[in-house]
Amino acid sequence: MQENILQLKNISKSFDGEMVLEELSLDIKRNEFVTLLGPSGCGKTTTLRIIGGFATPDSGQVIMEGKDITLLPTEQRCVNTVFQKYALFPHMSIEENIAFGLRIKKKDEAYIKEKVRYALELVNLMGFEKRKPHSLSGGQQQRIAIARAIVNEPKILLLDEPLGALDLKLRQDMQKELIRLKKELGITFIYVTHDQEEALTMSDKIVVMNQGYIQQIGSPEDIYNEPQNAFVADFIGDANLLAATMLKDELVSINDTRFTCVDKGFGTNKPVDVVIRPEDVEIMERGKGIFPAIVSSILFKGVHYEIIANGIGIQWMIHTTVYYEIGSKIDLYIKPFNIQIMHKPESEDEAVNHEE
Protein backbone atom coordinates (compact mmCIF):
# COMPACT_ATOMS: atom_id res chain seq x y z
CA MET A 1 0.00 0.00 0.00
CA GLN A 2 1.32 3.45 -0.94
CA GLU A 3 2.25 5.71 1.95
CA ASN A 4 0.98 9.25 2.28
CA ILE A 5 3.44 11.91 1.16
CA LEU A 6 1.11 14.80 2.04
CA GLN A 7 -1.75 15.34 4.47
CA LEU A 8 -3.98 18.37 4.82
CA LYS A 9 -5.63 18.37 8.23
CA ASN A 10 -8.68 20.55 8.92
CA ILE A 11 -7.50 23.40 6.70
CA SER A 12 -9.57 26.60 6.89
CA LYS A 13 -8.87 29.83 5.03
CA SER A 14 -10.80 33.06 4.61
CA PHE A 15 -10.21 36.28 2.66
CA ASP A 16 -11.78 39.55 3.86
CA GLY A 17 -14.09 37.63 6.15
CA GLU A 18 -15.31 35.27 3.42
CA MET A 19 -14.60 31.59 4.04
CA VAL A 20 -12.82 30.00 1.07
CA LEU A 21 -11.88 26.66 2.66
CA GLU A 22 -13.52 25.16 5.73
CA GLU A 23 -12.12 22.21 7.68
CA LEU A 24 -10.69 20.61 4.54
CA SER A 25 -8.80 17.34 5.05
CA LEU A 26 -7.06 15.35 2.33
CA ASP A 27 -4.48 12.55 2.11
CA ILE A 28 -2.23 12.31 -0.96
CA LYS A 29 -0.13 9.22 -1.59
CA ARG A 30 3.39 9.09 -2.94
CA ASN A 31 3.58 9.06 -6.77
CA GLU A 32 -0.14 9.80 -7.22
CA PHE A 33 -1.54 12.10 -9.90
CA VAL A 34 -4.19 13.96 -7.91
CA THR A 35 -6.48 16.52 -9.52
CA LEU A 36 -8.36 19.19 -7.60
CA LEU A 37 -11.44 19.75 -9.75
CA GLY A 38 -14.23 22.26 -9.40
CA PRO A 39 -15.77 25.51 -10.65
CA SER A 40 -14.17 28.91 -10.24
CA GLY A 41 -14.14 30.04 -6.63
CA CYS A 42 -14.42 26.54 -5.14
CA GLY A 43 -11.08 26.80 -3.28
CA LYS A 44 -8.91 24.53 -5.41
CA THR A 45 -6.21 27.13 -6.23
CA THR A 46 -6.16 28.32 -2.60
CA THR A 47 -5.57 24.71 -1.56
CA LEU A 48 -2.67 24.47 -4.02
CA ARG A 49 -1.18 27.75 -2.78
CA ILE A 50 -1.33 26.52 0.81
CA ILE A 51 0.49 23.32 -0.18
CA GLY A 52 3.12 25.37 -2.03
CA GLY A 53 3.63 27.82 0.83
CA PHE A 54 2.27 30.83 -1.05
CA ALA A 55 -0.59 31.16 1.46
CA THR A 56 -0.94 30.31 5.13
CA PRO A 57 -4.13 28.68 6.44
CA ASP A 58 -6.09 30.36 9.24
CA SER A 59 -6.16 26.99 10.97
CA GLY A 60 -5.16 23.41 10.26
CA GLN A 61 -1.92 21.68 9.32
CA VAL A 62 0.04 20.78 6.19
CA ILE A 63 1.99 17.58 6.88
CA MET A 64 4.64 16.37 4.41
CA GLU A 65 6.29 13.02 5.08
CA GLY A 66 5.25 13.25 8.71
CA LYS A 67 6.66 16.78 9.20
CA ASP A 68 4.50 19.85 9.85
CA ILE A 69 5.39 22.34 7.08
CA THR A 70 2.42 24.68 7.60
CA LEU A 71 4.64 27.69 8.36
CA LEU A 72 7.69 26.60 6.35
CA PRO A 73 8.75 29.11 3.64
CA THR A 74 8.17 28.11 0.02
CA GLU A 75 11.87 27.76 -0.78
CA GLN A 76 12.34 25.25 2.05
CA ARG A 77 9.66 22.86 0.81
CA CYS A 78 10.48 20.04 -1.63
CA VAL A 79 7.71 21.39 -3.86
CA ASN A 80 7.75 23.24 -7.18
CA THR A 81 4.86 24.96 -8.96
CA VAL A 82 3.98 25.34 -12.65
CA PHE A 83 1.53 28.18 -13.28
CA GLN A 84 -0.82 28.86 -16.20
CA LYS A 85 1.27 31.94 -16.97
CA TYR A 86 4.63 30.35 -17.55
CA ALA A 87 6.64 33.22 -15.96
CA LEU A 88 9.72 32.53 -18.07
CA PHE A 89 12.42 35.21 -18.00
CA PRO A 90 12.27 36.80 -21.48
CA HIS A 91 15.88 38.06 -21.44
CA MET A 92 17.29 34.63 -20.58
CA SER A 93 17.89 31.71 -22.91
CA ILE A 94 15.95 28.48 -22.38
CA GLU A 95 19.05 26.96 -20.81
CA GLU A 96 19.36 29.89 -18.39
CA ASN A 97 15.67 29.73 -17.51
CA ILE A 98 15.90 26.05 -16.59
CA ALA A 99 19.15 26.54 -14.67
CA PHE A 100 17.90 29.56 -12.68
CA GLY A 101 16.75 27.65 -9.60
CA LEU A 102 19.90 25.56 -9.49
CA ARG A 103 22.09 28.66 -9.66
CA ILE A 104 20.13 30.21 -6.80
CA LYS A 105 21.01 27.08 -4.84
CA LYS A 106 24.68 27.61 -5.82
CA LYS A 107 25.09 24.24 -7.57
CA ASP A 108 28.30 23.81 -9.54
CA GLU A 109 28.23 24.37 -13.30
CA ALA A 110 28.94 20.75 -14.27
CA TYR A 111 25.97 19.61 -12.19
CA ILE A 112 23.76 22.35 -13.67
CA LYS A 113 24.74 21.45 -17.24
CA GLU A 114 23.94 17.78 -16.66
CA LYS A 115 20.58 18.55 -15.05
CA VAL A 116 19.55 21.01 -17.77
CA ARG A 117 20.39 18.45 -20.46
CA TYR A 118 18.37 15.81 -18.62
CA ALA A 119 15.37 18.12 -18.27
CA LEU A 120 15.47 19.13 -21.96
CA GLU A 121 15.56 15.47 -23.00
CA LEU A 122 12.66 14.72 -20.68
CA VAL A 123 10.43 17.38 -22.29
CA ASN A 124 11.69 16.61 -25.83
CA LEU A 125 13.29 20.01 -26.43
CA MET A 126 16.97 19.21 -26.95
CA GLY A 127 18.54 21.77 -29.31
CA PHE A 128 16.41 24.66 -28.00
CA GLU A 129 18.70 25.60 -25.12
CA LYS A 130 20.16 28.77 -26.73
CA ARG A 131 16.82 30.17 -27.90
CA LYS A 132 14.75 32.81 -26.10
CA PRO A 133 11.21 32.09 -24.80
CA HIS A 134 9.52 34.42 -27.32
CA SER A 135 10.75 32.21 -30.18
CA LEU A 136 8.84 29.19 -28.84
CA SER A 137 5.19 28.19 -29.21
CA GLY A 138 2.84 28.16 -26.22
CA GLY A 139 3.19 24.40 -25.85
CA GLN A 140 7.00 24.60 -25.99
CA GLN A 141 7.02 27.38 -23.39
CA GLN A 142 4.86 25.22 -21.14
CA ARG A 143 7.36 22.38 -21.48
CA ILE A 144 10.19 24.73 -20.50
CA ALA A 145 8.23 25.84 -17.43
CA ILE A 146 7.81 22.16 -16.48
CA ALA A 147 11.51 21.48 -17.13
CA ARG A 148 12.46 24.42 -14.89
CA ALA A 149 10.32 22.93 -12.11
CA ILE A 150 11.44 19.30 -12.35
CA VAL A 151 15.16 20.12 -12.62
CA ASN A 152 15.00 21.00 -8.91
CA GLU A 153 13.92 17.40 -8.16
CA PRO A 154 10.78 18.26 -6.15
CA LYS A 155 8.98 15.51 -4.28
CA ILE A 156 5.69 17.13 -5.28
CA LEU A 157 4.95 19.06 -8.47
CA LEU A 158 2.03 21.50 -8.27
CA LEU A 159 0.32 22.48 -11.51
CA ASP A 160 -2.18 25.35 -11.48
CA GLU A 161 -4.30 25.10 -14.66
CA PRO A 162 -1.09 24.91 -16.72
CA LEU A 163 -2.83 23.99 -20.00
CA GLY A 164 -5.59 26.59 -19.88
CA ALA A 165 -3.99 28.89 -22.46
CA LEU A 166 -3.38 26.16 -25.06
CA ASP A 167 -5.64 25.19 -27.95
CA LEU A 168 -7.53 21.89 -27.79
CA LYS A 169 -5.12 19.72 -29.83
CA LEU A 170 -2.05 21.07 -28.02
CA ARG A 171 -3.79 20.65 -24.67
CA GLN A 172 -4.53 17.00 -25.46
CA ASP A 173 -0.91 16.42 -26.50
CA MET A 174 0.33 18.02 -23.27
CA GLN A 175 -2.02 15.84 -21.22
CA LYS A 176 -0.26 12.77 -22.65
CA GLU A 177 3.13 14.36 -21.97
CA LEU A 178 2.24 15.02 -18.33
CA ILE A 179 1.12 11.41 -17.85
CA ARG A 180 4.42 10.24 -19.36
CA LEU A 181 6.46 12.62 -17.21
CA LYS A 182 4.72 11.54 -14.04
CA LYS A 183 5.52 7.88 -14.80
CA GLU A 184 9.16 8.59 -15.71
CA LEU A 185 9.87 10.96 -12.82
CA GLY A 186 8.14 8.94 -10.11
CA ILE A 187 7.02 12.07 -8.25
CA THR A 188 3.64 13.20 -6.95
CA PHE A 189 1.59 15.53 -9.18
CA ILE A 190 -1.14 17.77 -7.74
CA TYR A 191 -3.06 19.35 -10.58
CA VAL A 192 -5.72 22.08 -10.49
CA THR A 193 -8.33 22.40 -13.24
CA HIS A 194 -12.00 23.15 -13.89
CA ASP A 195 -11.87 20.95 -17.02
CA GLN A 196 -13.67 17.66 -16.31
CA GLU A 197 -12.26 15.85 -19.35
CA GLU A 198 -8.73 16.84 -18.35
CA ALA A 199 -9.28 15.46 -14.85
CA LEU A 200 -10.80 12.19 -16.08
CA THR A 201 -7.99 11.70 -18.62
CA MET A 202 -4.94 12.20 -16.41
CA SER A 203 -5.77 11.49 -12.78
CA ASP A 204 -5.20 8.58 -10.45
CA LYS A 205 -7.46 10.35 -7.97
CA ILE A 206 -9.91 13.24 -8.39
CA VAL A 207 -10.95 15.56 -5.57
CA VAL A 208 -14.19 17.31 -6.56
CA MET A 209 -14.63 20.62 -4.72
CA ASN A 210 -17.43 23.16 -4.37
CA GLN A 211 -17.64 26.29 -2.22
CA GLY A 212 -14.66 25.34 -0.07
CA TYR A 213 -15.72 21.76 0.64
CA ILE A 214 -14.72 18.41 -0.80
CA GLN A 215 -17.75 16.83 -2.47
CA GLN A 216 -16.20 13.50 -3.43
CA ILE A 217 -12.82 11.78 -3.64
CA GLY A 218 -12.24 8.82 -5.93
CA SER A 219 -10.80 7.37 -9.11
CA PRO A 220 -12.02 8.84 -12.42
CA GLU A 221 -14.20 5.75 -12.87
CA ASP A 222 -15.76 6.11 -9.41
CA ILE A 223 -16.40 9.83 -9.81
CA TYR A 224 -18.06 9.36 -13.21
CA ASN A 225 -19.97 6.13 -12.60
CA GLU A 226 -20.83 6.50 -8.91
CA PRO A 227 -21.35 10.21 -8.14
CA GLN A 228 -22.25 10.73 -4.49
CA ASN A 229 -24.47 13.76 -4.97
CA ALA A 230 -26.21 15.86 -7.59
CA PHE A 231 -23.41 18.42 -7.79
CA VAL A 232 -20.81 15.80 -8.73
CA ALA A 233 -23.16 14.10 -11.18
CA ASP A 234 -23.97 17.39 -12.89
CA PHE A 235 -20.41 18.73 -12.90
CA ILE A 236 -18.71 15.60 -14.23
CA GLY A 237 -19.77 14.90 -17.79
CA ASP A 238 -23.29 14.98 -19.22
CA ALA A 239 -26.11 13.53 -17.17
CA ASN A 240 -29.84 13.09 -16.92
CA LEU A 241 -30.30 14.33 -13.35
CA LEU A 242 -33.77 13.51 -12.05
CA ALA A 243 -35.84 13.83 -8.88
CA ALA A 244 -37.30 10.48 -7.89
CA THR A 245 -38.76 8.42 -5.06
CA MET A 246 -37.07 5.29 -3.71
CA LEU A 247 -40.06 2.99 -3.22
CA LYS A 248 -37.99 0.22 -1.65
CA ASP A 249 -34.68 -1.55 -2.19
CA GLU A 250 -33.98 -1.97 -5.91
CA LEU A 251 -37.13 -0.10 -7.02
CA VAL A 252 -37.33 3.61 -7.83
CA SER A 253 -40.15 5.75 -9.23
CA ILE A 254 -39.37 8.51 -11.73
CA ASN A 255 -42.41 10.60 -12.71
CA ASP A 256 -44.69 7.75 -11.55
CA THR A 257 -42.88 5.22 -13.74
CA ARG A 258 -41.23 2.37 -11.85
CA PHE A 259 -37.68 1.36 -12.64
CA THR A 260 -35.74 -1.60 -11.32
CA CYS A 261 -32.29 -0.57 -10.00
CA VAL A 262 -29.55 -2.24 -7.96
CA ASP A 263 -29.27 0.22 -5.06
CA LYS A 264 -30.29 -0.63 -1.50
CA GLY A 265 -30.40 1.09 1.86
CA PHE A 266 -32.16 4.32 0.89
CA GLY A 267 -35.31 3.53 2.86
CA THR A 268 -38.96 3.25 1.79
CA ASN A 269 -40.79 5.98 -0.14
CA LYS A 270 -37.84 8.36 0.29
CA PRO A 271 -37.07 11.28 -2.06
CA VAL A 272 -33.78 10.72 -3.90
CA ASP A 273 -31.80 12.08 -6.83
CA VAL A 274 -31.13 9.83 -9.80
CA VAL A 275 -28.39 10.17 -12.40
CA ILE A 276 -28.50 8.34 -15.73
CA ARG A 277 -25.70 9.00 -18.18
CA PRO A 278 -26.72 9.76 -21.81
CA GLU A 279 -24.75 6.80 -23.14
CA ASP A 280 -26.70 4.49 -20.81
CA VAL A 281 -30.11 5.36 -22.29
CA GLU A 282 -30.75 2.79 -25.00
CA ILE A 283 -32.99 3.45 -28.00
CA MET A 284 -35.23 0.58 -29.16
CA GLU A 285 -38.06 0.08 -31.60
CA ARG A 286 -41.48 1.24 -30.42
CA GLY A 287 -43.03 -1.45 -28.23
CA LYS A 288 -39.73 -3.09 -27.19
CA GLY A 289 -38.45 -0.75 -24.46
CA ILE A 290 -39.61 0.42 -21.03
CA PHE A 291 -41.43 3.57 -22.13
CA PRO A 292 -42.19 5.47 -25.35
CA ALA A 293 -40.54 8.75 -26.38
CA ILE A 294 -40.36 11.11 -29.34
CA VAL A 295 -37.13 12.59 -30.73
CA SER A 296 -37.25 16.41 -30.48
CA SER A 297 -33.68 17.34 -31.52
CA ILE A 298 -30.44 15.79 -32.75
CA LEU A 299 -26.88 17.16 -32.83
CA PHE A 300 -23.82 15.56 -34.43
CA LYS A 301 -20.92 15.56 -31.94
CA GLY A 302 -18.28 13.76 -34.00
CA VAL A 303 -18.10 10.37 -32.26
CA HIS A 304 -21.84 10.25 -31.54
CA TYR A 305 -25.18 11.97 -31.99
CA GLU A 306 -26.72 13.81 -29.05
CA ILE A 307 -30.45 13.27 -29.08
CA ILE A 308 -33.10 14.93 -26.95
CA ALA A 309 -36.23 12.81 -26.64
CA ASN A 310 -39.42 13.46 -24.67
CA GLY A 311 -40.78 10.57 -22.64
CA ILE A 312 -42.73 10.18 -19.35
CA GLY A 313 -42.74 13.97 -18.99
CA ILE A 314 -38.92 14.20 -19.07
CA GLN A 315 -36.49 15.51 -21.67
CA TRP A 316 -33.90 12.74 -21.99
CA MET A 317 -30.40 13.35 -23.31
CA ILE A 318 -29.15 10.32 -25.24
CA HIS A 319 -25.80 9.58 -26.88
CA THR A 320 -25.97 7.16 -29.79
CA THR A 321 -24.08 6.33 -32.97
CA VAL A 322 -27.35 5.86 -34.88
CA TYR A 323 -29.10 8.79 -36.59
CA TYR A 324 -32.82 9.38 -35.90
CA GLU A 325 -35.08 11.89 -37.60
CA ILE A 326 -36.74 14.56 -35.48
CA GLY A 327 -40.25 13.30 -34.68
CA SER A 328 -39.20 9.63 -34.66
CA LYS A 329 -41.29 7.51 -32.30
CA ILE A 330 -38.97 5.33 -30.25
CA ASP A 331 -38.81 3.37 -27.00
CA LEU A 332 -36.18 3.91 -24.32
CA TYR A 333 -34.60 1.27 -22.10
CA ILE A 334 -32.27 1.68 -19.12
CA LYS A 335 -30.52 -1.28 -17.53
CA PRO A 336 -30.94 -1.46 -13.73
CA PHE A 337 -27.21 -1.05 -12.96
CA ASN A 338 -27.09 2.15 -15.05
CA ILE A 339 -29.55 3.90 -12.73
CA GLN A 340 -27.47 5.57 -10.00
CA ILE A 341 -29.33 6.57 -6.82
CA MET A 342 -28.09 9.41 -4.61
CA HIS A 343 -29.30 10.83 -1.30
CA LYS A 344 -31.21 14.06 -1.75
CA PRO A 345 -29.81 16.81 0.53
CA GLU A 346 -32.28 17.95 3.19
CA SER A 347 -30.91 21.52 3.15
CA GLU A 348 -28.78 23.85 1.04
CA ASP A 349 -25.97 23.60 3.60
CA GLU A 350 -25.99 19.81 3.34
CA ALA A 351 -25.85 20.07 -0.46
CA VAL A 352 -22.62 22.09 -0.22
CA ASN A 353 -20.98 20.48 2.80
CA HIS A 354 -20.59 16.93 1.58
CA GLU A 355 -17.42 14.93 2.01
CA GLU A 356 -16.70 11.27 1.88
List the one residue out of 55, 86, 78, 215 whose CA is nearest residue 161.
86
In CATH, the number for domain 4-225 is 3.40.50.300
Secondary structure of residue 188 in the 3-state scheme = strand
Return the pLDDT at 356. 43
Integer angstrom CA distances of residue 132 from 10, 124, 147, 192, 283: 44, 16, 15, 28, 56
Is beta strand 291-300 parallel, antiparallel or unpaired with respect to 329-333? antiparallel
Return the pLDDT at 210. 94
* Percent of the chain surpassing pLDDT 70: 96
pTM over cut 0.75: yes
Q: Per-domain residue ranges for the chain?
A: 4-225, 239-352
In CATH, the number for domain 239-352 is 2.40.50.140
Tallying the residues shown for the chain, one arrives at 356
Low-confidence stretches of the chain (pLDDT beneath 70) = 1-2, 86, 165, 346-356
Return the pLDDT at 347. 46
DSSP E strands, the chain: 4-15, 18-29, 33-37, 59-64, 67-68, 79-83, 156-160, 188-193, 205-210, 213-218, 240-248, 251-254, 257-260, 270-276, 282-284, 291-300, 305-311, 314-320, 329-333, 340-343
